[in-house]
Amino acid sequence: MSGTSLQGFFECTYNDVVAKFGEPIEGDGDKTTVEWVIKFEDGSVGTIYDYRAGQSPQYFPDDLYNWHIGGHSKKAYDNVSAVLFT
Q: Is 18 helix (H, G, I), strand (E, B) or coil?
A: helix
Cα atoms found within 13 Å of the Cα of residue 29, Cβ hemisphere only: 0
- Per DSSP, 3 falls in state T
pTM: 0.91
pLDDT tens, position by position, 9-66: 999 999 999 999 999 998 887 889 999 999 999 999 999 999 987 788 899 999 999 9
Return the domain boundaries, the chain. Answer: 5-84
